[in-house]
């Protein structure tokens, strides 16, 4: 059980999308159930003990000590990675320049096929989850391989290490090598149900950190029977989120519509099979018609924006129209995607999101993003996409304490802090130039996963 904790210093979070607040001299109290029980602002350090006494917390809820943050330190929400392929942790950086379907055939499928070996899966997944925790990813939506046993191992690893996660077995019964595909739709759905049962058994409570997610890899790899079966599962279990790849590259779009000639776009295709809902996490969405944008808005589906992967592998500089999505009120979060890019860091995803939005502004006149907007997407935006914004995404009272302690004065690559820097300037320096060395402590639901006492 997490212990009661208290923090005093500067908090940076987004009460609403796009609205970043820097709150000095804040006192935040975490209860033994891992939730934020109290949050008060403008409390001088000299008044902290008196304020805690005034709160009259029960004995077990009284923090034994207060962590006082230095001037250049910050308490922020944990990062949410809305799209990642856990099996690709060991292949990162390979295949740059290949078009997406060629990259799958030459690099990814041979790598993911190795996860039939349970020990291999355990080794890679342990390193993967440790790596993301170290980089401040407190919540991740993971694609596993198609193997049921390896997928349950990923769930076990996340559960043991304390990371919050959505975990799905990849469904793929066609257009993949014989050595790496489901036997048929029946087997794919049967294994999916087994994975769902295993994940839910890890913690049957409604507050479980690890949850199953339906994961048709993309329509290219699923026949009609499999897509219909997954749609039935989604209807049968209305709490199950759904994740898939959506309009990632022109090559992928052409292949998809060639397989499903009755549909003119992917939005209608997934909607037909019951897989376009307010619980859907659609990765990439780089090439979008107005019709498809409106459809996503109507269905309240979420977009997992992966700007690093979209500009590294796939066949072109694929920059999703995030500014337009946000104007329409479409939910958007950030993803690292893993094997398709040069970095597994959400901080890097923020920076690349700024760059690709600048490109779209120069080409199409679309709204560019600021680094502050991207911070919002990496926290509250990601929580909304994963349908977890009632629990995480910012540091409001009643939410789970998924948070990071950021130190700006560590020996690393972050821009130096100068005496006349404002707090906004110091935090912007972290967003633009900081790395995992500046992420001093990581907490999920009050449990410390990184730092001196973890």
Task: Read off the pLDDT of residues 205-250 as tens digits, 9 standing for 90 and up.
Answer: 989 999 999 999 999 999 999 999 999 999 999 999 999 999 998 8
**328 and 428 both lie in a single domain:** no
Residues 6-31, mean pLDDT to the nearest whole number: 97
Q: With beta carbons less than 8 A apart as the criterion, state whether 144 and 78 touch.
A: no
- Domain span at residue 364 reads 79-386
**220 and 352 both lie in a single domain:** yes
Task: Read off the pLDDT of residues 412-437 as tens digits, 9 standing for 90 and up.
Answer: 899 999 999 999 999 999 999 999 99
**198 and 153 both lie in a single domain:** yes
**326 and 308 both lie in a single domain:** yes
Of 386, 411, 434, which residue constitutes the final position of a domain? 386
**262 and 208 both lie in a single domain:** yes
Closest CA to 444 of 100, 128, 210: 210
Task: Read off the pLDDT of residues 376-417 as tens digits, 9 standing for 90 and up.
Answer: 999 999 999 999 999 999 999 999 999 999 999 998 899 999
For the chain, the average pLDDT equals 95
Residues 87-97, mean pLDDT to the nearest whole number: 89
CATH number, domain with residue 411: 2.30.40.10
Q: Where are the alpha helices (DSSP H) in 135-265?
A: 148-161, 185-202, 224-236, 250-259
- pLDDT reading at 32 higher than 80: yes
List Cβ<8 Å contacts ≥24 apart for 234-239: 234/274, 234/275, 234/277, 234/279, 235/274, 237/196
User: What is the pLDDT at residue 3?
Assistant: 85
User: What is the pLDDT at residue 191?
Assistant: 98
DSSP SS3 for 81 = strand
User: What is the pLDDT at residue 66?
Assistant: 96
Number of domains in the chain: 2
CATH number, domain with residue 289: 3.20.20.140
Task: Read off the pLDDT of residues 253-277 as tens digits, 9 standing for 90 and up.
Answer: 999 999 999 999 999 999 999 999 9
Of 341, 367, 386, which residue constitutes the final position of a domain? 386
- pLDDT reading at 316 higher than 80: no
**21 and 104 both lie in a single domain:** no
Burial class of 335 by CB neighbour count within 10 A (0 to 12, 13 to 18, 19+) = buried
Burial class of 54 by CB neighbour count within 10 A (0 to 12, 13 to 18, 19+) = exposed
- pLDDT reading at 1 higher than 70: no
User: What is the pLDDT at residue 256?
Assistant: 97
**187 and 330 both lie in a single domain:** yes
**51 and 124 both lie in a single domain:** no
**366 and 425 both lie in a single domain:** no
**93 and 23 both lie in a single domain:** no
DSSP SS3 for 168 = strand
Give the separation between CA 369 and CA 305, rounded to whole angstroms. Answer: 13
Query: What is the pLDDT confidence band of residue 454, given thresholds at 50, 70 and 90?
Result: low
Of 333, 356, 386, which residue constitutes the final position of a domain? 386
**263 and 349 both lie in a single domain:** yes
**261 and 156 both lie in a single domain:** yes
Residues 366-380, mean pLDDT to the nearest whole number: 97
Closest CA to 81 of 15, 144, 133: 133
- pLDDT reading at 317 higher than 80: no
- pLDDT reading at 319 higher than 90: no
């Amino acid at each position: 059980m997490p212990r009661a904790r208290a923090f005093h210093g500067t908090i940076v979070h987004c009460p609403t999308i796009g609205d970043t607040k820097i709150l000095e001299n804040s006192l935040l109290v975490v209860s033994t159930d891992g939730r934020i029980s109290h949050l008060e602002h403008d409390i001088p350090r000299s008044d902290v003990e008196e304020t805690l006494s005034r709160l009259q917390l029960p004995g077990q809820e009284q923090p034994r000590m207060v962590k006082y943050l230095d001037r250049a330190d910050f308490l922020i929400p944990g990062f949410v990675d809305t799209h990642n392929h856990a099996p690709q942790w060991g292949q990162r950086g390979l295949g740059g320049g290949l078009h997406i379907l060629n990259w799958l055939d030459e690099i990814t499928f041979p790598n993911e096929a190795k996860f039939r070996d349970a020990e291999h899966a355990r080794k890679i997944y342990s390193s993967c989850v440790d790596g993301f925790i170290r980089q401040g990813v407190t919540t991740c939506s993971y694609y596993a391989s198609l193997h049921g046993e390896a997928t349950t191992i990923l769930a076990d690893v996340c559960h043991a290490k304390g990371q919050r996660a959505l975990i799905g077995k990849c469904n793929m019964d066609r257009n993949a090598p014989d050595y790496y595909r489901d036997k048929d739709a029946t087997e794919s759905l049967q294994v999916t149900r087994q994975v769902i049962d295993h994940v839910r058994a890890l913690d049957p409570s409604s507050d479980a950190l690890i949850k199953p997610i339906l994961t048709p890899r993309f329509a290219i790899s699923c026949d009609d029977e499999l897509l219909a079966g997954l749609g039935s599962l989604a209807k049968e279990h209305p709490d199950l989120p759904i994740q898939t790849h959506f309009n990632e590259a022109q090559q992928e779009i052409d292949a998809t519509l060639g397989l499903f000639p009755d549909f003119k776009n992917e939005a209608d295709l997934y909607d037909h099979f019951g897989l376009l809902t307010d619980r859907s996490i659609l990765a990439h969405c780089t090439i979008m018609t107005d019709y498809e944008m409106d459809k996503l808005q109507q269905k309240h589906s979420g977009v997992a924006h992966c700007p690093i992967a979209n500009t590294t592998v796939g066949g072109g500089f694929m920059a999703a129209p995030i500014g337009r999505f946000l104007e329409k009120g479409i939910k958007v979060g950030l993803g690292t995607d893993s094997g398709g890019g040069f970095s597994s860091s959400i901080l890097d995803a923020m920076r690349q999101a700024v760059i690709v939005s600048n490109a779209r502004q120069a080409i199409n006149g679309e709204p560019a993003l600021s680094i502050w907007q991207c911070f919002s997407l990496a926290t509250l935006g990601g929580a909304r996409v994963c349908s977890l914004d009632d629990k995480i995404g910012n540091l409001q009272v009643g939410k789970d304490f998924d948070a990071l302690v950021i130190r700006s004065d560590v020996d690393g690559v972050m821009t130096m802090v100068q005496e006349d820097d404002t707090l906004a300037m110091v935090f912007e320096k972290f967003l633009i130039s900081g790395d995992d060395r500046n992420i001093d402590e990581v907490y999920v639901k009050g449990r410390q996963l990184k730092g001196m006492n973890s």
